[in-house]
């Protein structure tokens, strides 16, 4: 299992468009991927799950993966969240 923390800098947090991009990216990996925010956890491959967390701009989230490609999965998801700053 691999985990990393990242700060969400997207102006809208992880809502609508950013959440959709996140789910698409996560779905390309075999590993189970989870996002944690304020002691709540959701499967990143579930749009409803990600949206239900209500992650705002400036939030610190934890990304966790477990599976064959866990290291790459966490790295790519964190990279995507960081790229959503625009």
The CATH number assigned to the domain holding 58 equals 3.30.1340.10
Active site residues: 15
What pLDDT is stored for residue 85 in this prediction?
A: 78
The 10 Å Cβ neighbour count of residue 2 is 16
pTM of the model: 0.94
Domain extent, residue 44, equals 2-83
Coil vs helix vs strand at 86: coil
Q: So what's the pLDDT on residue 86?
A: 60
- Mapped onto helix, strand or coil, the DSSP state of residue 46 is coil
- In this prediction, residue 71 carries a pLDDT of 97
- Scan for tokens 């625009």, then name that residue: 86
What residues of the chain score a pLDDT lower than 50?
none
Provide the domain count of the chain: 1
* Dihedral angle of Cα 40, 44, 49, 50, to the nearest 10 degrees: 80
């Amino acid at each position: 299992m691999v985990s990393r923390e990242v700060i969400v800098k997207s102006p809208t947090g992880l809502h609508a468009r950013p959440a959709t991009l996140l789910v698409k990216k996560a779905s390309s990996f075999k590993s189970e991927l989870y996002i944690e925010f304020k002691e709540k956890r959701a499967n990143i491959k579930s749009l409803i799950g990600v949206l239900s967390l209500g992650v705002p701009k400036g939030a610190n989230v934890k990304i966790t993966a477990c599976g064959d490609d866990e290291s790459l999965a966490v790295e790519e998801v964190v990279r995507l969240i960081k790229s959503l700053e625009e």
